[in-house]
Amino acid sequence: MERNSGNYQITTTAGEAVRSFVPNPLPPNEPELDSEFFAPVNRQAELALTRLSGMSELVPSIDWLLYSAVRKEALLTSQIEGTQATLTDLFDEEAGFKVSNTDDVEEVTNYLRAFRLVQDNLRSANGLPLCTRLLRDAHRLLLAGVRGTNKQPGELRLSQNWIGGTRPGNAVFVPASPELVPELLATLEQYIHAASDLPPLVRIALVHAQFETIHPFLDGNGRIGRLLIGALAEQWGLLKEPLLYLSGYLQQHQHEYYRLLSNIRLLGDWESWIMFFLEGVIAAAAEAEQSMISVASLVTTDRRRLLASDRAGPASYRLFEMLPVMPRFNVDHVCRKLGTTFPTANAAVQTLEALGIVTEMTGQKSNRTYGYDAYIKLLTR
C-alpha cells in the first residue's frame, strides 16, 4: 500500500545541492492506516507484554529482573551502533574492575544514565513529560565523554547530516535541513500527547520511525529513538517496568530493520514496518519471559543448595540474595554491602564458592575476584 509519507526539498550542503526528506506529520494518511489489518498481531503483542508483566510478579525480587533487562537493552542498543562491549564487561565496570574496552563500556553506561533520567522524569510528579527538552537532556548524558562528544551533546543539529555515503551527494538518506528540525520535533511531540484511535504499540512504531527520519542530532539518534520505545511503553501503560529488550530483536534483524525504515520514506510503506515491529515485540517478550524463568529457576535451585548446607550462615544468605544485582565482586565489595568485617565477608564468599555457586575468576592468591558465573552465562546466552 503506497502513500506519500513526505516530500523532498533541495538544500545546499558541503557545496552541493541535495534532496533532503521532510516527513509528513503523524499519523499516516491518504490512505489512513487500517487498524483491523494490524489487530490480530497487535493483540498477540499486547498479550505477550501482559504475560511478561504477570511473570515478573511471580519472582521474589523485581530488582533482579530490572537489573538484567535494563542492562541488556543498554548493551544491545549500543551494539547496533557498533559498540563492542559485552555484558561481562559491563558487570566488571560496575564492580570497579579493569576492563579493556573502557570507551565502549562507557557508551553503554551513558545509555543507562540517559534511560534513568527519562524514566525518573516520567515517574515524578514534578518531572518533565516526554518532550524535546527531555530528549535533549538524555542525549547530553548519552554522548558525555565518549565517541560523539564533539557532536553537540544535548543540542539539536545546526548542520546537515546524512546516512550512508561519503558525502551528502552520494548518501543513502539525507534528513530534513536543520532549520526544520525544531518544528518537526514539536509536531511529533504533539502527536505523542494527542488522543488517538490507534493501538499504543502501533503508535510507538510510528513515533520511533518518525524520530529516526527526522534524525535531529548529529550522533546518537538510533539510541535515543530506541530509548523512546521503552519510555512510551511505560507511559502508555503497556509495561509497568522496562522488562523488554527489543533492541536484541532489532540487532538480529538489523538489515531488515533499516530496510523497512527506508521503505517508509521511499514507498510510504508504514504497514510492513509496523508488522515487523509488532512481531519483534512478540519475539522479544517471549525471550524476556524465558530468560526470567531460567534466572528464577537457577536462583531457586542455588538457594536450596545454600539452605541445605551446614556451612551457611546469615552473611552467606545475605550475600547470595545480592548476587543477581552484583554478579561480579570481590571481598571488599561484600564488606561494604553487608556492613561487616573482612573475615566475615570472606567466610561468606568461601561458603558460596565451596558450594559451586560463585567462581573465583583470577586464579590468584590475592586480589581475587568472583562471579555468579551460571547467572552471567544465562544472561549472555
Render pLDDT for 300-330 as a digit per residue (tens, 0 to 9).
Answer: 999 999 999 998 999 999 999 999 999 999 9
**Lowest mean per-residue pLDDT among 45-49, 148-152, 238-242:** 148-152
Tell me how far apart the alpha carbons of residues 71 and 247 are, in angstroms, rounded to a whole number. Answer: 11
Q: How many CB atoms lie within 10 A of CB 94?
A: 18
User: How many whole angstroms separate alpha carbon 223 and alpha carbon 161?
Assistant: 16
Among all chains, which residue has been given the C-alpha cell 506519500?
4
Can you tell me whether residue 9 is helix, strand or coil? strand
Task: Identify the residue whose cell numbers are 515485540.
Answer: 281
Per-residue pLDDT band for 58 (boundaries 50, 70, 90) equals confident
Arithmetic mean of pLDDT, 42-57:
93
Whole-number pLDDT of residue 147: 84
- Compute the radius of gyration of the chain from its Cα atoms: 23
Q: 6-291: which CATH architecture?
A: Orthogonal Bundle (1.10)
Higher pLDDT, 56 or 251: 251
Residue that is written with C-alpha cell 529457576 in the block: 297
Q: What is the mean pLDDT of residues 40-69?
A: 88
Whether residue 74 is predicted with pLDDT greater than 80 in this model: the reply is yes
CA–CA dist 113, 115 (Å, integer)? 5
- What's the pLDDT at 276? 98
Handedness of CA 210, 212, 215, 220 (dihedral sign): positive
| Residue 132 confidence (pLDDT) | 96
Q: Please tell me the least confidently modeled range out of 50-64, 280-294, 329-343.
A: 50-64
Answer whether 49's CB lies under 8 Å from 237's CB: no
Condensed to tens digits (0 to 9), the pLDDT of residues 7-43 reads 999 988 777 888 999 999 999 998 899 889 999 999 9
Where do you find CATH 1.10.10.10 in the chain? Answer: 309-380
Is this prediction's pTM over 0.85? yes
* Average confidence (pLDDT) over 327-355: 94
How many angstroms separate the Cα of 281 from the Cα of each of 25, 46, 192, 243, 274? 25, 9, 20, 12, 11
In the prediction, which pLDDT does 14 show?
74
Q: Return d(Cα 242, Cα 70) in angstroms, integer.
A: 7
CB 187 within 8 A of CB 216: no
Most distant CA atoms of the chain, gap in Å: 77
Report the interhelical angle of 254-267 vs 270-307 (nearest 10°).
150
- How far apart (Å, rounded) are the C-alpha atoms in residues 105 and 120? 23
Q: How many CB atoms lie within 10 A of CB 81?
A: 16
Domain with CATH 1.10.3290.10 in the chain: 6-291
H or E element in which residue 6 lies = strand 6-13
| β-bridge mates for residue 163, sequence order | 173
- Give 1's pLDDT tier (boundaries 50, 70, 90): low
Percent of the chain with pLDDT over 70: 99
The rounded distance, in Å, linking the Cα atoms of 24 and 27 is 8
Percent of the chain with pLDDT over 90: 76
Ramachandran region of residue 88, left (φ > 0), alpha (ψ -120 to 50) or beta?
alpha
Tens digits of residue pLDDT in 113-152: 999 999 999 999 999 999 999 999 999 999 998 887 888 9
Decide: helix, strand or coil at residue 332: helix
Half-sphere exposure of 298 toward its Cβ, with a 13 Å CA cutoff?
22
> What pLDDT, in 10s, does the model give residues 262-297?
999 999 999 999 999 999 999 999 999 999 889 989
Mean pLDDT over the full length of the chain: 93
Q: Would the pLDDT of 2 be above 80?
A: no
pLDDT at 366 (0 to 100): 79
Strand partners, 359: 371
- Take residue 147 and report the three cell numbers written for it: 565517541
Under 8 Å between Cβ of 27 and 196: yes
| CB-CB contact of 176 with 214 (8 Å) | yes
Each residue of 141-189: pLDDT tens digit? Answer: 999 988 878 889 999 999 999 998 888 888 899 999 999 999 999 999 9
Alpha carbon of 336 to those of 86, 124, 187, 342: distances in Å? 26, 30, 49, 9
For 309-380, CATH gives: 1.10.10.10
